[in-house]
Amino acid sequence: MLGEVAEKKLYDAAAKGNAQALRDLLKDPLLLDRVSFTCSNKTPLHVAAMHGHLPIVQEILRQNRQLAEELDSQKSSALHIASAKGYVEMVNELLSAAPDMCLSRDSQGRNPLHLAAMKGHVRILAGLVQTAPLAAREKLDRGQNVLHLCVKHRQLESLRILVQNLSELLNAEDDDGDSILHLAVRFKQVERKGEMNIANNYTNLHNPEAKTKSMQTVQYLVESTNIDKDAKNCKGQTPLHILEQIPADDRTKAAIREFLGPPLCTSSSRQTQPAKWLTRKRDSIMVVAILIATMAFQAGVNPAGGFWQDNLTQDSQGNPVPNPHMAGEAVMAYNHPKVFKILLKSNTVAFVSSLSTILLLISGLPFRRRLFMWALMAIMWLAVTSIAVSYAAAIVVVTPRKYKESLGHVIWTGITVWWIVMGALLAVNTLRLISRWLQSKGVKLWPPKRFRNFIEHHNSNEEV
């Protein structure tokens, strides 16, 4: 009975912010532990955070830091509550006590960073992004991310901060294929229970606040970021297509249409928005470069045939031998000197080319144009060819003499086929590059319309 009375007084002190009463109650060192076990709804820390009593929160954390990890009936921690309420100093205190709670999700799948973003608490949001960048990349329901959340809740300042730190999420799509620009044009209206719903699939452009926020968001995304304004969702709609479905034709709609501009349907328009294409190509090139660098390094430190295990400079009678060698030197360099030179040169080219590619990709240089990716791909072609030559040289060394004649035919056939394939790839990609450049200059190409449509369809599939 006395324990229940003490617990009630503890909750009252936390709710009223009575620090002295709290200290008197916490003279019982087990009181907070008992509360955390007996109460499944919320702890005194939740109550203090809800009422914004920073001294109470500090005192409770000083006594029992583990309470920062406790969840209430809605699976919210005290950090969730402080982030949603906008208490900056309290958030800092809770972060120092339990930094991992940045990744904790409540019953609606939202972490503290999501709550700060949707409430527009930019100072808290900036701190959470720096402290827990992974929390900003967690997805919500229907595949949406925190940028979608900012647009839905009309938090333009939150969106600005997040775009500066999470530019890779700018063109991210939800399960319907909608980017944040699609969502900004199809601006959602707050209805009952605070949920965001679409009324008749049209934007609420008749609400003055919605008009202003929608227009400002679209203007910011189009003019200040690299967002793809011609991206299509799962229904094949661009943001401009969605805008044209809105029946009201007022000034806001006209302004948004001006920001979005005319629809661009040619492959040259896709070249102006290459973020997805560049990201995929860059990741692929990085993987291949690391693999080739590993293979080349292994072939360099462990050449075919192995190493000499002893020093041999004189014979048993003390006379110099014709071909002296030292321990640790490659056997191939003495038994097959010409092949060893080929192996050494080709392997070095492959290794240096791969390392150069890796260095360029991790250097942070703004490879935002396809031309840079084509250059990196050409370097990787050189690396792949060089590692293939290294393999052929190694096979020649380890193959017994009686099989070398048949092996020679296989190698020469493989080399011939290889150069044919490389030449064809080089020609096709060069023609594609020239074709894109000519189309960007407005030059009409010779191929008939049906063939051009096939090429454009192929390019669009490649960039999906």
Assign residue 129 the CATH number of its domain: 1.25.40.20
Is the model's pTM score more than 0.85?
Answer: no
How large is the angle between the packed helices 112-119 and 122-131, nearest 10 degrees?
Answer: 150
Asked if residue 198 and residue 58 are part of one domain, the reply reads no
Residue 206: the pLDDT is 47
Q: Are 94 and 57 in contact (CB under 8 A)?
A: yes
Counting the structural domains of the chain, the total is 3
Asked if residue 118 and residue 243 are part of one domain, the reply reads no
State yes or no: pLDDT of 228 exceeds 70: yes
Asked if residue 436 and residue 302 are part of one domain, the reply reads yes
User: Structure tokens of 30?
Assistant: 């087990």
Backbone angles phi, psi at 316, to 5 degrees: -65, -20
Asked if residue 251 and residue 301 are part of one domain, the reply reads no
Mean per-residue pLDDT, 82-91: 96
14 falls within a domain: yes
**Residue 82: closest CA among 124, 129, 138, 44:** 124
Asked if residue 452 and residue 399 are part of one domain, the reply reads yes
Q: Which of 219, 235, 263 is where one domain is finished?
A: 263
Q: Are 124 and 86 in contact (CB under 8 A)?
A: yes
Residue type, position 230, single letter: D
Confidence of residue 26 (pLDDT cuts 50, 70, 90): confident
Range of the domain at 122: 1-138
88-110 core/surface letters (b: 16 or more CB in 10 A; e: else): eebbebbbebbeebbebbbeeeb
Confidence of residue 15 (pLDDT cuts 50, 70, 90): very high
- The pLDDT tens digits for 344-383 are 999 999 999 999 989 888 876 655 566 677 778 888 888 9
Residue 198: the pLDDT is 37
190 falls within a domain: yes
Mean pLDDT: which of 36-50, 64-78, 298-312, 449-463 is highest? 64-78
Asked if residue 391 and residue 422 are part of one domain, the reply reads yes
269 falls within a domain: no
Asked if residue 59 and residue 8 are part of one domain, the reply reads yes
Asked if residue 225 and residue 288 are part of one domain, the reply reads no
Asked if residue 348 and residue 212 are part of one domain, the reply reads no
58 falls within a domain: yes
Mean per-residue pLDDT, 210-234: 80
Asked if residue 245 and residue 190 are part of one domain, the reply reads yes
Mean per-residue pLDDT, 243-254: 68
- Mean pLDDT over each residue of the chain, to the nearest integer: 79
- The pLDDT tens digits for 331-347 are 888 888 888 898 899 99
Asked if residue 286 and residue 253 are part of one domain, the reply reads no
156 falls within a domain: no
**Residue 190: closest CA among 157, 213, 222:** 213
Residue type, position 135, single letter: A
Residue type, position 450, single letter: R
Asked if residue 300 and residue 179 are part of one domain, the reply reads no
If you count DSSP H runs as helices and E runs as strands, how many of each does the chain have, helices first? 23, 4
User: Which are the contacts of 105, defined by CB distance < 8 A and separation ≥ 6?
Assistant: 75, 111, 138
How large is the angle between the packed helices 2-16 and 54-63, nearest 10 degrees?
Answer: 140
Three-state secondary-structure class, residue 357: helix
Three-state secondary-structure class, residue 199: strand
- The pLDDT tens digits for 264-278 are 444 444 444 455 566
User: Structure tokens of 4?
Assistant: 């229940």
User: Which are the contacts of 443, defined by CB distance < 8 A and separation ≥ 6?
Assistant: none
Three-state secondary-structure class, residue 307: strand
Higher-confidence residue of 101 and 41: namely 101
Three-state secondary-structure class, residue 56: helix
Q: Which of 263, 298, 315 is where one domain is finished?
A: 263
158 falls within a domain: no
444 falls within a domain: yes
87 falls within a domain: yes
Three-state secondary structure readout of 117-137 = HHHCCHHHHHHHHHHCHHHHC
Q: Are 76 and 41 in contact (CB under 8 A)?
A: no
Handedness of CA 57, 62, 64, 68 (dihedral sign): positive
Confidence of residue 71 (pLDDT cuts 50, 70, 90): very high
Q: Which of 138, 160, 191 is where one domain is finished?
A: 138
Residue 462: the pLDDT is 47
List 312's β-bridge partners, or say none.
Answer: 325
